[in-house]
Chain A
């Protein structure tokens, strides 16, 4: 797992933009967690934007890290958004119920098939 972190302005908010690449499982969870946790605290961020376009696999270890960041930011009045997940990643995010507490991009391919866009 490789991760790129940047500060971005979007919708009048200052976001920590994170672009993890590869597999988010128990082998990468500890580093995924510490990179995000560290950058959020160091930069005083309240908003986390996860660009999942380069994530090829996620299981409960990776999902737990995302929920953990929501729990870190939510008491500060912040939030987490997730963009560009693959269909498989999207299915896992929703199976874990994360769509109920954060904004998640619905993959275009899924919308094409299910909504006919």
Chain B
């Protein structure tokens, strides 16, 4: 019993240390895994905006971040999962002193040619090919990692004032 308590204390202190380090560095993190259903797109963008609102961003900037997240999550559902509603999209948010980092990951079909997907009017999904265009124009940096059959990870960065 005593040994178990010692282990528990050690784990708790370890967690507290990690938490304190994150706090000292001014970093906040959130992770959310949700079903690939259309109604969850708004939850993803609202959660992101709620976290970003801790910083001094204008309403216009918060709206732009919401659009970028909406595009990334819509892509994951429409293209990654081909509209299937029973898969999971993972959203990771990291708010550090100078950056908001948003990662949207799916385990869907993936893309053989990321460059091709980044060109406007590529998909024919009725969204004017604007998904990546909006992500690029509303965020400061966009990274896309994908491989056929291995899903897609989109990382969006917004520099904070």
Contacts and interface: CB of A to CB of B under 8 A. Distances in A.
Contact of B126 (A68, A91, A92, A95): A68
Contacts of A92: 67
B60 A59 contact: no
Contact of B60 (A23, A57, A87): A87
A26 B70 CA distance: 9
Contacts of B42: 23, 25, 27, 57
B78 A60 contact: no
What is the interface of chain B mostly: helix, strand, loop, or mixed? Answer: helix
Interface residues of A, number: 21
Interface of A: 23, 25-27, 29, 33, 57, 59-61, 63-65, 67-68, 87-88, 91-92, 95-96
A57 B130 CA distance: 16
Contacts of B78: 26
A96 B138 CA distance: 13
A83 B4 CA distance: 67
